[in-house]
Structure 1
């Protein structure tokens, strides 16, 4: 039985289009595979050694070498391809219908209710790139004090505001108001605060972004773990995604580097249970901006970090690496992509070289994590692969 599991989600690190990808406009997407193909040389020897080279074509890496851990891929069973849907399914919530999206902006009943509650008008109300819409409407926002509301292909209601015009805490309160309004048929996955600073032509988004997610509609594997007295430590935006449900401690982070630093700190701490981390830069900084080189460098930086983590782990520790969806920067789209995700498992008591195959749902991971920690997550969907990988 494991004492601690470090579960790291490489946000958007998909490994190939799902069979239904064409229904989402994502046929041919393969985030990691296409990056490796375009780059030619993707320096990720540690991920390859854990089994990634068995799951996706990585030029220069020998697929015949026995991986150091167990490996496989998982298909998303839920409808959708967003962050909340992916993370919820990883922990045992399978959605039968996707969160609502707004390709033409939010309807009058939503915007009018929001404007009435906050006592001012809004700018925008359309799908847009966050950096583009700030440049487009930032000057008007500064002149009027009206917040910028926009969305994307994902189920999000985003509010951008200059920190000197609408202080961050006031922006957060606007988001809480929007979250109260966006329920029922308009229950978007996330309301997101997008503060920025600077002057027209030189606006910069700050690191005080905050996500206000829906509460999970039922118990997750996290609830089972916390309910037995185990620690469930959220790193990065995990606490926001689950709205604190099943979380016993939270360590917010601004970027990948801070997230990796926090993970290393946790390895040194005395806890028993799960450290659940999301590394957001792959998606937020590179996938959505079609920055192939930036995404590749971020993967290489994470790969360089892996030996420090693996060498610091104790004999009863397990490392799990996965993703929540794709966001292929090599395609014309800047949206998430409907893809398989990798699952790499390494550590004490884990058999090397075990291929767990293609799992029918991300939910297999949640019940597996629970079983490895000695908890029976009865009632949750998914089939544990713990018996396959344990020595």
Structure 2
């Protein structure tokens, strides 16, 4: 009997381009593989022992004879490569229509409506790197009080403001107004508040980010688990991605190490159900900024803490290490990359050295969780419970 599933998302840690990567401009992308090649290897001995290297030989993380866990990878069914699409599919939803993007910025009527409702003009209104646009417009923002509006290749409208110019609560209110505007035909997956501090030339984003998401398009495994009386704990940005739906307890985090600390704290508490963690630094700090060295170091720092995570688990817990998309820091541009996600599963109830193969959908994870807890499935995905459970 399994009491808890710890679903541990290594945000953007893809493991090779999907067969349809050409449709997304991502041929040759491989987040883990290319970081290892670029940096002359990568040292992940604990994930290697669990089976990560047996999915796809990575320089420094080669295949071993008897990994301690089950392992495999998965295709993505949904039409996208963004955070929301990936997480919703992991939770059992398939999205055939991609979320709307605004590669040339937002139409004038949208900006006019936003400015009228918030009583301020805005700056920017174009796709940009979150740090570059602060260098470009941060000083003007401080002198005018106009918030900075920008987007990316993702389906997002982001609003940046200096915490001393627009207080946090006002920024959050502005983002809630933007959320109301960006619905219907103009719906984007997320409105993101991007507060920052500092002075021109040394601006820095703070940990007070907030995401305002759409509701999932249907009931996820989280909703089903909650309705069955199970605990669904969201750590990191999980609560935001699901707009609070299907969550029984949530905590935000300031960085990867804090996310690991909070995960261990919740594992050590008494609960039954799902602990769902996202470690976002891989994506936000290193993937988008195309920093393979920083990405490598962050992965190695996670790996050093794997024994601590595993030691905190009970005999009837299992943990699934996986991802939501790729973000190859050696690749062109600054966008996510369309990739397979790795799946590594460990626990006292899990068979060792089991290859679950290439799954057809991220939703296989949701189907497996439903199967483990004997609750209703979302109807998408195929369970691999019988392959992995002793």
TM-score by length of 1: 0.98
The answer (yes or no) to whether the contact 1:14–1:31 under 8 Å persists in 2 is yes
Aligned residues: 390
Q: Could you tell me how far 1:61 is from its partner in structure 2? A: 4.3
The DSSP-based 3-state class of the residue aligned with 1:98 is coil
1:130-182 CA-to-partner distances (Å, cap 9, x unmatched) read 11111111111111111100001111000000111100110000000000000
Match of 1:374 in 2: 374
| Whole-angstrom CA distance in 1 between matches of 2:222 and 2:348 | 22
Equivalent residue number for residue 23 of structure 1: 23
- 2:358 aligned counterpart, secondary structure: strand
1:383 aligns with 2:353: no
Structure 1 CA distance, aligned partners of 2:370 and 2:318? Answer: 12
Q: Give the structure 1 partner of residue 175 of structure 2.
A: 175
Q: Does 1:105 align with 2:88?
A: no
Distance 2:299 2:64 in 1: 22
Q: Once the two structures are superposed, what CA deviation does each residue of 1:235-256 show, in whole Å capped at 9, x if it has no partner?
A: 0000000011000000110110
TM-score by length of 2: 0.98
| Corresponding residue for residue 38 of structure 1 | 38
Q: Note closer, same or farther for the CA distance 1:62–1:34 as it changes in structure 2 (3 Å cut).
A: closer
Q: Which residue of structure 1 aligns with residue 342 of structure 2?
A: 342
Answer yes or no: is the 8 Å Cα contact 1:220–1:380 preserved in 2: no
Distance 2:136 2:359 in 1: 44
Q: Secondary structure at the match of 1:142?
A: helix
* Residue in 1 that maps onto 2:312: 312
For residues 124-273 of structure 1, the aligned pairs below 5 Å read 124-273=124-273
1:168-219 Cα deviation digits (max 9, x unpaired): 1100000000000001121101100000111111111111011111111110
Deviates more, 1:224-233 or 1:379-388: 379-388
| More off after superposition, 52-61 vs 202-211 | 52-61
- Is 2:52 aligned against 1:52? yes
Most deviating of 234-243 and 129-138: 129-138
Residue-by-residue CA offset, 1:339-372 (whole Å, 9 max, x unaligned): 0001111102111111111111101101111222
Checking the alignment, whether the CA contact within 8 Å between 2:72 and 2:355 is kept in structure 1 is yes
**Partner residue in 2 for 1:78:** 78
Tell me by how many angstroms 1:57 deviates.
2.1
Q: Which runs of 5+ in 2 are unaligned?
A: none
In the alignment, the residues of structure 2 paired with residue 260 and residue 389 of structure 1 have an alpha-carbon distance, to the nearest angstrom, of: 25
2:308 matches 1:293: no
**Does the CA contact (< 8 Å) of 2:10 and 2:321 recur in 1?**
yes
Q: How far apart, CA to CA, are the structure 2 residues paired with 1:227 and 1:349? A: 25
Contact 2:196 2:203 in 1 (8 A): yes
Q: What SS does the corresponding residue of 2:315 show, helix, strand or coil?
A: coil
- Aligned counterparts of 2:136 and 2:238: Cα–Cα separation in 1: 31
Q: What's the CA shift for 1:60?
A: 4.0
- Give, in whole Å, the separation in 1 of the partners of 2:358 and 2:309: 27
Runs of 4+ in 1 over 3 A off after TM superposition: none
Deviation of the 1:84 alpha carbon: 0.3
Q: Structure 1: how far apart are the matches of 2:312 and 2:168?
A: 38
